[in-house]
Amino acid sequence: MEYSSKDVIVGDQWLVLSKIGEGSFGEVFKAKDIDLNRFYAIKRESLELEYPQLHHESVMYDVLAGGPCIPKCHWYGQHDGFDCIVIDLLGSSLKDLQATVRDIPLDIVIDLGCQLISCLEHMHDRGIVYRDIKPENFLFPASFDFGLATWWRNPKTKKPYPECKKPIKFKTGTARYASLNVHRGRTHSRRDDMESLGYLLLDLLLAGELPWSGVTARSSKAGWDRLKEIKEEMLLEDMCLGLPHGIMDFIDYTRRLRFNDRPDYDHLRRLLR
pLDDT tens figures, 190-216: 999 999 999 999 999 999 999 999 898
Give the chain's domains with CATH numbers.
9-88 (3.30.200.20), 94-272 (1.10.510.10)
CA-CA distances (angstroms) from residue 144 to 47, 104, 116, 178?
Answer: 21, 22, 12, 19
Task: State the binding site for ATP.
Answer: 43
Q: What is the mean pLDDT of residues 67-93?
A: 92
- Percent of the chain whose pLDDT exceeds 70: 96
Asked if 132 is an active-site residue, the reply is yes
pLDDT at 171: 87
Given this model, what pLDDT does residue 25 score? Answer: 73
pLDDT attached to residue 263: 99
**pLDDT at 1 (0 to 100):** 52
pLDDT of residue 169: 80
% of the chain exceeding 90 in pLDDT = 76
Amino acid 259: pLDDT: 97
Query: Which pLDDT score is estimated for 167?
Result: 82
Query: What local confidence, expressed as pLDDT, does residue 21 receive?
Result: 85
pLDDT, residue 102, reads: 82
Cα radius of gyration rounded to whole Å, the chain: 20
- 3 — pLDDT class (breaks 50, 70, 90): low
pLDDT digits (tens, 9 = 90+) for 209-250: 999 998 988 999 999 999 999 999 999 999 999 999 999 999
pLDDT of amino acid 85 = 95
pLDDT at 24 over 70: no
Q: How does pLDDT run across 118-171, given as a tens digit for each residue?
A: 999 999 999 999 999 999 988 887 666 788 899 999 999 999 999 987 888 888
Indicate the range of 66-80, 129-143, 255-269 predicted with least confidence.
129-143
The catalytic residue among 80, 107, 132, 264 is 132
State the pLDDT at residue 168: 85
Mean of per-residue pLDDT scores for the chain: 92
